[in-house]
Structure 1
């Protein structure tokens, strides 16, 4: 069925593969395809970690596998963010891009060959559909809060450095210049619960509190 979580996950995987192929076959596609792939991967990963992996651990008995998959997510997200800061026409970018693609494809293969079959075997159709709806909601929520920026290094860019759009929202002074992604990484390191559903302001406040500052 269309809302089955396994169908939605594998559809995302195929779309990421399409973006990877675009970037490796046509360098001119990179400034737009890379930010899209990074944003899509982050939204996909967070939605899995919030909705799918808890079910995988509790209902399918795959707790260790879910933890391992989460660690792979974090590594891939870090690699993707690093690529956004690089000159997409350089040899170093080519090498880093291939490493990122290899890491994501390895994760996808493990997930589709081991984790998703375990999920399908343990859960009935109604539960899989429920997880699919929750995954779609969480993914859309994340994507809606992440404006895309072109990758650096090409014509009309600033040589590999992304310019951050100023954020005028009220946040603690120490965090005012940070992006939501940077605040999310801090929140993850500090163990802030519910971070994937927070906007930038909320993340800044919770990070500030967790670091021992005054709210």
Structure 2
């Protein structure tokens, strides 16, 4: 192989890695399914959190979760998913995965009465991953207002294979480098979201939307504040 053909092949590969003109989008039916399932899991978890403040019983959790999940399938405009979709589009894969894990924790068999209950504390092992998410959110926000001097739109870059590889590499590296084993089950939500994104392209075909959304971004701010206050 001549040097010219090798250089041409590498240039073609680099161009394909950053290409954003032909994005791979999810199927329309899958998008509609995700709208109901995704918001259903998020609302079911939030409902269990609210109920747990004054009625922390498994039967109450099961009832609230079942009602909220079933309400997502009501006809429009009676379905909460309809209004949530209009206001906030679709939740990210990471938010739904985290909500599902926390919901299952609420629904599992409660601890015996003699067990000591402690308030959940932030795990510092997740702080680097949360910090990267916060930085990414600010970068996307500035990019949406054209305040970043970049040769290509940062959000549009999320449709490229390069962005998918970058998110997978950074998230996997942060998970494996965490010294707190207890934080890893939650941290694995990001690599798992990337795998699901590659297979399903949910929710929009853009990898940034798969790993981050406005509500998750705000939650990461609160998480980092709790970590700082607990540390100092």
- TM-score calculated relative to the size of structure 2: 0.27
Query: Highest relative contact order (Cα 8 Å, sep 6+), 1 or 2?
Result: 2
TM-score, normalised by the number of residues in structure 1: 0.28
